[in-house]
């Protein structure tokens, strides 16, 4: 699978933050991860299936998670609670859904968003899949988008 598959996710993240959260994002350098990801304590995670299988991770600093949730929910969010976690899951879903539409040749379907918390959690990909990672800066703090996708052989699709 081409590394360019990351571009629809980058565009989708920028657009989602701009239109849904009224938040500008400044994109950093794309990097390839060594298979273990997440530097921030809150990760929205969603699985993809279709002619490629993989995972999208939206790894957020606590402040980005709180401010994004507060904006979506129209109320202050002083600490991580179930509403914040649902909002992070929904944000991950929105970013993934819009990108999926741009990758229609892969006929992707999305699973349920889960949100991982824990100061030192790490999300590992299978060692034969190298996730592409894109850091972003926002007025609220930092976040990282990570996408690992592997093509599926036609005969292996069941």
Interface residues with a copy of itself (CB under 8 A)?
35, 45-50, 53-55, 82, 85-86, 89, 109-127, 129, 148-150, 157-158
Whole-angstrom distance, CA of residue 96 vs CA of residue 134: 14
DSSP codes, 5-27: GHHHHHHHHHHHHHHHH---EEE
Whole-angstrom distance, CA of residue 138 vs CA of residue 24: 6
For residues 25 and 33, which CB has a smaller minimum distance to a copy of itself in the complex?
33
For residues 31 and 101, which CB has a smaller minimum distance to a copy of itself in the complex?
101
The least distance separating a copy of itself from the CB of residue 24, rounded to whole angstroms, comes to 28
Whether the Cβ atoms of residue 41 and residue 62 lie closer than 8 Å to each other: yes
For residues 20 and 110, which CB has a smaller minimum distance to a copy of itself in the complex?
110
The least distance separating a copy of itself from the CB of residue 38, rounded to whole angstroms, comes to 9
């Amino acid at each position: 699978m081409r590394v360019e598959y990351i571009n629809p996710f980058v565009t989708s993240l920028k657009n989602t933050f701009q239109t849904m959260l009224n938040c500008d994002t400044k994109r950093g350098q794309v990097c390839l991860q060594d298979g273990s990801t997440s530097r921030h304590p809150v990760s929205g995670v969603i699985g993809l299936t279709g002619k490629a299988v993989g995972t999208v991770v939206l790894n957020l600093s606590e402040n980005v998670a709180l401010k994004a949730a507060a904006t979506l929910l129209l109320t202050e969010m002083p600490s991580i609670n179930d509403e914040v976690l649902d909002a992070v899951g929904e944000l991950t879903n929105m970013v993934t859904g819009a990108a999926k539409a741009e990758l229609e040749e892969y006929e992707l379907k999305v699973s349920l968003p889960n949100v991982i918390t824990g100061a030192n959690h790490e999300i590992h990909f299978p060692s034969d899949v190298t996730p592409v990672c894109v850091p972003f800066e926002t007025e609220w703090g930092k976040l990282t988008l990570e996408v690992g996708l592997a093509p599926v052989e036609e005969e292996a699709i069941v």
